[in-house]
């Protein structure tokens, strides 16, 4: 008979500054994803706030972190919608500028009956997020426990944010998504890099087909300068590596409705607990649970877990007798 193991409490969350994208997502529910040149009729359509930066900020705030977001939206109805949604999660939008010339970023997300997705993004105002916008948020970066950045904004802006964090001694978590080449030496300025399989391939040339190859890719990321690497593997969980250790964990078993935003939830949770002082190993385990819960509803933010929901998932687990 299996024994029960109970987690007493979650670690505290700290202050997180996110520099990244803010989008509106157009979600299409399909029985299956279309092939090239094929038209498939959608069974449902809904618009929801999204964007990697905004999703990660909302996920971190939902888990108790004090979160500031640096970004841009358009002067349009979508911009108003996403700003209101961010504030509903408790995200500080002081440094989200309203761009009068560019529309709010738009993502078209197709989700099949198995919860798998395909996504196309029009950056809109995200493409105008500038190094000067980052400079205006200098105090928020300096006061954060973690700076969290992604690549849906100009690389020059990411570089400025990373440089400022380095000046203030703030550890940087980099989500190298979408996959693209990084400026030389950037990983040496990063405390933790968190790619998925596609992004790991772009950065290391290693095709991640399982945990062993994931560890190989993580090792190459350390050789490129990162202090630690965590590879998210979808329904296979994650693999992590530091110079001292390598480990991983399978994904939690949940009823999957939509995997959109699971990676962003992982990143937001990871940053939230790291900023509160949790070690990488513990923060990654908690992020793994949060990502699983995010898959249980349609859309990137519909099932973002709070501390109570995450505690309920993790508090009682079966372990070998």
Catalytic residues: 264
Give me the helix-helix angle, 77-88 and 52-62, nearest 10°. 20
CA 255: distance to chain centroid?
Answer: 21
- Assess contact for 209 and 229: CB atoms under 8 A: no
In sequence order, what DSSP letters do the residues of 114-140 get, joined into one string?
TS-EEEEEE-GGGGG--HHHHHHTHHH
CA gap 232, 305 in Å, rounded: 18
- Assess contact for 72 and 152: CB atoms under 8 A: no
- Assess contact for 27 and 298: CB atoms under 8 A: yes
Q: Which residues contact 153 (CB under 8 A, 6 or more apart)?
A: 19, 20, 21, 53, 71, 123, 126, 127, 129
């Amino acid at each position: 008979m299996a024994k029960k193991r109970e987690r007493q409490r979650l670690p505290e969350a700290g202050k997180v500054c996110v520099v990244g994208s803010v989008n509106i997502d157009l979600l299409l529910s399909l029985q299956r994803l279309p092939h090239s040149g094929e038209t498939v009729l959608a069974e449902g359509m809904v618009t929801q706030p999204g964007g990697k930066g905004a999703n990660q900020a909302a996920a971190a705030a939902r888990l108790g972190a004090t979160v500031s977001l640096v970004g841009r939206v358009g002067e349009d109805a979508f911009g108003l919608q996403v700003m209101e949604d961010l504030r509903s999660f408790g995200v500080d939008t002081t440094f989200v500028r309203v761009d009068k010339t560019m529309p709010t970023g738009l993502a078209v997300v197709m989700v099949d009956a198995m919860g798998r997705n395909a996504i196309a993004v029009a950056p809109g105002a995200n493409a105008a997020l500038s190094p000067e916008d980052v400079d205006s948020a200098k105090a928020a970066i300096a006061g954060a426990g973690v700076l969290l950045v992604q690549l849906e904004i100009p690389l020059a802006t990411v570089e400025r944010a990373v440089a400022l964090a380095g000046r203030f001694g703030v550890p940087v978590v980099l989500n190298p998504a979408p996959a693209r080449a990084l400026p030389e030496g950037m990983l040496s300025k990063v405390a933790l890099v968190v790619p998925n399989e596609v992004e790991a391939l772009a950065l290391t040339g290693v095709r991640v087909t399982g945990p062993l190859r994931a560890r190989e890719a993580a090792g190459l990321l350390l050789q490129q300068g990162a202090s630690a690497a965590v590879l998210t593997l979808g329904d296979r969980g994650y693999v992590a590596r530091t110079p001292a250790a390598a480990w991983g964990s399978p994904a939690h078993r949940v009823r999957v409705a939509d995997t959109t935003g699971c990676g962003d939830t992982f990143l937001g949770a990871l940053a939230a607990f790291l900023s509160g002082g949790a070690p990488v190993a513990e923060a990654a385990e908690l992020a793994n649970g949060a990502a699983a819960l995010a898959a249980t509803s349609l859309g990137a933010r519909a099932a973002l877990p709070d501390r109570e929901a995450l505690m309920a998932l993790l508090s009682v687990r079966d372990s070998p007798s």
